[in-house]
Each structure stands twice: as structure tokens, then as C-alpha cells.
Amino acid sequence: MDNVTTGVRCIRPLDFDVFVGMDVDKRSNAVTVQDGLGLGRSVKMQHSAEMLLSFMQNHYAGQRAAFVYEAGPTGFGLHDAISAAGYPCLVVAPSLVPSVRGKRVKTNRLDSVKLATLLRGGQLTGIRVPSTKYRELRELTALRNAQVDEVLLRNSLEFPEAPASSQWSRRVISSLRSMQCSTALRFKLDSLLDDLEWHQYSALRAQAALRGMLDGDTELSESMGYLMSIPGVGWIIASYTLARVGDWRLLGRSEEMGAFLGLVPSEDSTGEDTDRGSITKCGDPRLRSMLIQGAWTAIRKDPELRAFYDGIYRRHSRNTAARVAIVAVARKMAVRMHCVLRQRRAYQIRIHRTEE
């Protein structure tokens, strides 16, 4: 079975002697090391885990060190190397790092200083670092999505009339290939169609690789089955959810799933007054959009969700009722997804009975 890379999510400052904040990019790392009093040094070095660990060994040998950096395009390789060397390493979401209002100067060194200071103060909570196979799953879903996006970009072409389900059929593309037009336009049209067909082919290859990975791993295959037992959750939503959520063993409370997808209301509370606004829209916008689209299918298949939708719809004005109600359904679906993954069982539709 694949290893479970939980990562460290928080640290107790009193358990450590030095705190290492890192601002990481693909070429270099800005590194700040502070002791318990906030004294220390900042250095810039090549983006290399080996160089970082060598620096720590040369200057801070025998001291208990904790590390932190922000999640980003460089991935989790640095985290893995630091953890393998025996040090705790937090990977934090940039949006959840406290910031000082009015501060307009931003440099890599200052960002590393801020992270080291916040780590020393125990003010940071790390994300759940996915294990290797969930990272690979995420890479394949990202590749498929990128190819699908490229196909959609070609929808600006004007093409012969066709049913909605077959707008890019072989017949339509063949008609575009034979369309009479000027030499320059013909060249442009053929180039766009070549791109379209290549991205369609690439998307199919990526999807085949993704299916192969999901079908070839017992745990992933079981998780897909549990997710797809929920009305409104098909193969695409299930695979993308699994890639984004990661290892089911690391899931927290069920309420966190809605918050992770940005489907919970924002809140501004002062004293005894609570003002709830629109949803936070945190997290992955693609997955949130997928789930909201799936919610429209779910209310047609699940009587309980339909009754839930209708109940919320009736409590709101007509111009916002449908939007508010379908987002609430999507949030409830997110909770169900959490439950079936954690409990390792398929969802069972319950027949909703109205009171006489």
C-alpha cells in the first residue's frame, strides 16, 4: 500500500530551539532562521534541499529545528526531503498566513522573516500533505483538465449547425475542413482545427491514463465507487474530488469539506450581531463549479435532496432562491462525500416522506 504522508500540521514552539521560515521559488530559497528570542539570520541559497540541510547541519547542528514554507508551484519535494531528515516541516496555504495591514514592502527575505516569526509564535497551521499516489492522481486530473480547457477555447470557431451533443463531431469538423474561404482564413481555420483535434486526442489519452490509475489501485477504485454512489456525482466529479481531497485517512470533520470547497457562507460578526453573506469561494473553483452542476442532477434523482432544495427555495426571494438553494444542496453533497470516504461505504438513497 502507498505510504501515507501526513505531514506536520502544527508545532509547539517550546519544543524547538530554532524556527526556519522559507520563501521558495524554482530557482532560489530565501531562508530565515530565528531562535526563541527572535534573533537569527537570513540567507539566500539555491533551491536545493541538500544545500538547505547542509546549511542547517553546519550552523545549527544539535539544535531542534522546525521548518515552514508556503504551498506553491514548487510542490512538496522540499517538504519530503526535510521530513526524511527528521525535521518537522509545515506547508501552509498562502491565504491563511496572517498579514499586517498597511504593509506595502514585500520581498522574499521579508516573507521568510514573517514565516519564521509566525512559526516561532505558534500561529501557523499546515495543510494536509498528500501521499505520493494522490499527488500522481492530481497530476493526471490537472493534465486532463488542461487539455479539455484547450478544446473549449476553440469553441469560438463558427461551425455548421449541429445538435448540442455533437457540435464537434467528425461530420462537423469535416464540413469545416471543406468550407470555402480565402487562403489566409483557410490556413488559420486548418491550424485551429489541427490544434482542436490534437487536444481532443491528448485529453482522451490523459483520461485513459487516469482511468488506468484509478482502476489499478484497490483503494482508489473503492473510493471512486463510494463517491459515485452519491446522486449527482459522476466519474469526472469523483476523480477530481479524490485528487483534490487526497487520502481519506487525513479527512477532518465533515463540516470542513464544505469550507474546503468554499461553499460555506462568509460571516462578519460584531458583538451580538452576526452578518452572513455569500459563500466564501475558497478552495478550488473548478471543483466547486463541478459540484454545483452535479447538484442540479442530484435533486432530480434524490427525493431527500429535492425536498431540501424546495425548502430553502421557499424561504428566499425569487431572484436569489434557486442560486442559494442549489449551493446549499452542493454543500450537503460535499458532506455526503466526506462521510462515504471516511466510513468506506456506499451512499443509500432514502425515500423522503412528506407529513400528512
Q: How many other CB atoms are there within 10 angstroms of residue 222's CB atom?
A: 15
pLDDT at position 223: 96
Q: Residue 270's pLDDT band (boundaries 50, 70, 90)?
A: very low
Residue range(s) occupied by CATH 3.30.420.10 in the chain: 13-120
> Residues of the chain with pLDDT > 70: what percent?
83
Q: Residue 134's pLDDT band (boundaries 50, 70, 90)?
A: confident
- Flag the least confident range among 131-145, 177-191, 259-273, 331-345: 259-273
Q: Residue 231's pLDDT band (boundaries 50, 70, 90)?
A: very high
**Cα distances (Å, whole numbers) of residue 85 to 54, 88, 107, 291:** 11, 9, 28, 40
Q: How far apart are CA 64 and CA 36, in angstroms?
A: 11
- Flag the least confident range among 148-152, 196-200, 258-262: 148-152
Residue whose C-alpha is closest to residue 34's, from 99, 118, 126:
118
**Over 80: is that where the pLDDT of 120 sits?**
yes
**Over 60: is that where the pLDDT of 159 sits?**
no
279-286 contact pairs (CB < 8 A, 24+): 279/327, 282/95, 283/244, 284/244, 286/145, 286/240
pLDDT at position 355: 45
**Over 70: is that where the pLDDT of 349 sits?**
yes
pLDDT at position 21: 96
Q: Are strands 273-279 and 265-270 parallel, antiparallel or unpaired?
A: antiparallel
Give backbone dihedrals phi and psi of 353, rounded to 5 degrees, phi first.
Answer: -110, 120
Average pLDDT over every residue of 210-219: 92
pLDDT at position 104: 64
- Flag the least confident range among 153-167, 178-192, 330-344: 153-167
pLDDT at position 273: 46
Return the residue matching grid coordinates 505558534.
122
Q: How far apart are CA 196 and CA 210, in angstroms?
A: 21
- Mean pLDDT score of the chain: 83
Q: Residue 102's pLDDT band (boundaries 50, 70, 90)?
A: low
Q: Residue 41's pLDDT band (boundaries 50, 70, 90)?
A: very high
pLDDT at position 298: 95
- Fold that domain 13-120 belongs to in CATH: Nucleotidyltransferase; domain 5 (3.30.420)
Instruction: Fill in the amino acid letter for 267.
Output: E
Average pLDDT over every residue of 24-39: 92
